[in-house]
Structure 1
Amino acid sequence: MTTGLLAAGAAGAARVSDGNARGVIYLPGMPTGDTSWSRLRRTLWQPPRRHGEQPQERVVGPLELFYDLVVVVLVAQAAHHLATHLSWHGLGEYAAVFGLVWLAWINGSLHHELHGREDARGRSMFLLQILVLVPLGAFIPDAGGERGAAFAVDAGLLFAVLAVLWYLAQRGDAPGYRRASFTYVAMTAAAAVGLAGSALLPDDLRVLAWGVIDGAYLAGFAAIISARWLRAATITVTDSITERFGLLIIIVLGETVTGVVAGLAETPIEPLTLAVGLVGVTVGFGAWWVYFDFAGHRAPKAGHRVAIRWMYLHLPLTATVAAMGAAMVSLVEQAHEDRTPVATAWVLCGGAAVVLVATMVLATTLQDWQSRRDLYRPLSRASLAMAVLCLTLGFLRPPPIVLCVVLVVLLGIPWGFAVAHRFRDEEL
């Protein structure tokens, strides 16, 4: 026993001596976990990555997918509201709300891509955003009415959180990037103040203010990245970013199926109603093959301006796909009508036209646009022609089953054109 105590005392004295050498005092029996704790803290709670440290090869993690699913819940809320308010006013409200949700998503996604790490801090930052997003989703169905003020305050809080996240990342930036980072933080904080302040406005003016904030934020982001005097860091569209944008399109395409199922659930299922629903799902599938056959999961050309165009073009694509899903409800419910309802026809046919045109404009940002000119140039003209025919179909408003079948054909023609081009090349 005495020997053990003497050994413990000797060890304690050694700790005191070692601690004094480093300016730290240890007493006998005091735990010596300071170094271990610091190492653990550095492992679990690392500072944000600096600009330029963005990994070029990274796999999209399950936490990012969970975050995307939370965002899609908000998109679904907006689409479901649009399904019962298919009008110009409803479309305007949908566009303003969707724009804010998409801007929040791209902020969170780019922040993690540029500065985030796979540690407890990164998880906590995503959780913080999710906790603010959840009540925002609950306010969306009545964002243009009684819950508009609550939506505005919560959206302001969300952008304030994003501003703080970007500020924390900005503090560790290299001096050359701090001016651009500070400008972006200030812009995001201004958006937060504007959104919270819109709670004081009447309903219609409040929704209009959201639309103005959407447009101003998009313009400001592009200006900050493009301004040479700010020396902003170039955004590189990595494989993980390409995958995230494509995955969001895939998940949102599920709204076309949700819309058909909702329509079938509200009406007696008869042969014609079921046929309209199933062909409606095929229309959504057609939007999928247009995007992924010609633009999805493909790297854009180098350059920050190209990267901005590539990202921004996904906004109308994603919003349009979700809106088409909302129109499916009315399409199925009105399956026996002699003519498709005006709003339903224009959302579906106009949406198909947007998918065709936006996908081809998106293709101009891709590396394949140069390397496969013989395919993409004539394909873009064919897609434009099909888009015009889609709009003509919306003007004619044939019965729902006819409208759906023709839309499937029009969306399939560019794909058939590409297949024929491939076979021709193989024969040559």
Structure 2
Amino acid sequence: MTSRRQRWARLWSRVWQPPRAHGEQPRDRVVGPLELFYDLVVVALVAQTAHGLSQQPTWRGLGEFATVFTLIWIAWLSGSLHHELHGREDARGRSTFLLQILVLVPLGASIPHAAGDSGAAFAVSAAALFALLAALWWLAGRRDSPEFHRASWLFDACTAACAVVLLVSAAMPADTRMLAWAALDVAYLAAFAVALCLAPSGSVTLVTTHALIERFGLLIIIVLGETVTGVVTGLAEHPLDTLTLAVGLVAVLVGFGAWWTYFDFAGHRPPRPGRGTTLLWIYAHLPLTAAITVIGAAMVRIVEHAHDAHTPTSTAWMLCAGTAVTLCTTTVIASTLQDWRTRPGFHRPVAAACVSIAVAALALGYAQPAPLLLVVALVALYSIPWLLAVTLLQRPPATAI
């Protein structure tokens, strides 16, 4: 009997291991299928926010989208960081992801009307998600060495406080509730920055591991897929003719332009060591991911209005402002990389081109040309920094950067 208990104890210790302490995660770890599955579930929620924005393309709708999207992105960041720093590929790691996914499902179902009738349901589901994250961080913090306690407990306390505020907001009027969520977004991001600054010197490099950098890139790729989904949805909902198909196909190239801009100039590269660059690298991915989501939300409407003489104002601004933010945030991310200092002759001209093209994209949104002309012009604008980069890379070795 004792021997059997010992065997079961050994088996349990292998499949249900305690959380890793800071610094114990393998540096050569790669992203697994479970993490990819989790990211796909999160992007299903992102798609719901995009759908809501496409149905209400107004300043109010944009504000509601930004508030809800940021909450989802913060939850994704917290869950991803927890697994990267403390998770294992065992039954416990699977269970923590499964619990988050089970909470994400009702959360996603309440997103389309989070600003109205489903606001209370969204608040309760989000409170449950952040309470779960707080519990996971608390369990991990118990095993950390003393030098990590201040940062760990602060982050855990902020996550728990976020859960409490979300739960309380369920009883608020709709407008007040949305303002409370927006304030919560800002407070949480600020608290995360403070917690990172309280971490021991030299430990910040533990945050942006190769696996986590890959997770950021995978999230961008999956969100970019929503641009194609938007085009397909638009084409499926309207009679298919030559002009409509042309607008849809060129619109796909707009999403492709966002892909090559990010991954050619900034994606899948680690930031320079340091708290400031790490924070900037992480936070710049928030508006970048949101901007790509906005572009995806505009795809349905650009196909819908393919035959209009002028692109509707809201659609034109969603596409063009999304493009401008994509270009600028990619430049910001590139500025945090080591290459920014070692290859200034390449990155600085490309960055200047990206910012200039972003201004041109905003001017294009103001002009509101016909949908086909608009998407063709956006593809051409995305091509300029890329062609410049190719030209710079083709310089002779004597003058190479």
TM superposition score category, shorter chain reference: over 0.9
Structure 1 residue ranges (4+ consecutive) displaced by more than 4 angstroms after TM superposition = 230-233
Which of 141, 146, 152 is matched with 1:175 structurally? 146
- What is the correspondence of 1:254-403 to structure 2 with a 5 Å cutoff? 254-403=225-374
Contact residue 170 and residue 182 of structure 1 kept, 8 A: yes
Q: Extract unaligned runs of 5+ from structure 1.
A: 1-29
Matched, 1:222 2:193: yes
- What is the correspondence of 1:109-148 to structure 2 with a 5 Å cutoff? 109-148=80-119
- Residue 360 of structure 1: CA displacement? 0.6
Contact residue 44 and residue 121 of structure 1 kept, 8 A: yes
The residue aligned with 1:21 is none
- Residue 426 of structure 1: CA displacement? 5.3
Which of 383, 389, 392 is matched with 1:418 structurally? 389
For residues 73 and 118 of structure 1, the distance between their equivalents in structure 2, rounded to whole angstroms, comes to 24
State the AA in 1 paired with 2:74: L
Matched, 1:88 2:59: yes
Residues 59-101 of structure 1, C-alpha deviation per residue, up to 9 Å, x if partnerless? 1111000000110110011111111111111111111111011
- What is the correspondence of 1:54-93 to structure 2 with a 5 Å cutoff? 54-93=25-64
Contact residue 81 and residue 207 of structure 2 kept, 8 A: no
Residues 247-303 of structure 1, C-alpha deviation per residue, up to 9 Å, x if partnerless? 000000011111111111111111111111111000000000000000001111112
- Residue 305 of structure 1: CA displacement? 2.4
Give the TM-score normalised by the residue count of structure 1: 0.91
Residues 351-391 of structure 1, C-alpha deviation per residue, up to 9 Å, x if partnerless? 10001110011101001111111100111111111011000
Contact residue 226 and residue 232 of structure 1 kept, 8 A: no
For residues 289 and 327 of structure 1, the distance between their equivalents in structure 2, rounded to whole angstroms, comes to 19
The residue aligned with 1:249 is 220
For residues 278 and 171 of structure 2, the distance between their equivalents in structure 1, rounded to whole angstroms, comes to 37
Matched, 1:188 2:159: yes
Give the TM-score normalised by the residue count of structure 2: 0.97
The residue aligned with 1:162 is 133
For residues 246 and 183 of structure 2, the distance between their equivalents in structure 1, rounded to whole angstroms, comes to 41
User: How many residues are treated as equivalent by the alignment?
Assistant: 398
For residues 427 and 255 of structure 1, the distance between their equivalents in structure 2, rounded to whole angstroms, comes to 44
Contact residue 82 and residue 326 of structure 1 kept, 8 A: yes
State the AA in 2 paired with 1:102: W
Residues 191-245 of structure 1, C-alpha deviation per residue, up to 9 Å, x if partnerless? 00011111111112211211111111001100111136x8794243111111100
Q: Extract unaligned runs of 5+ from structure 2.
A: none
Alignment RMSD: 1.4
Structure 1 or 2, whichever has the larger Rg, is 1
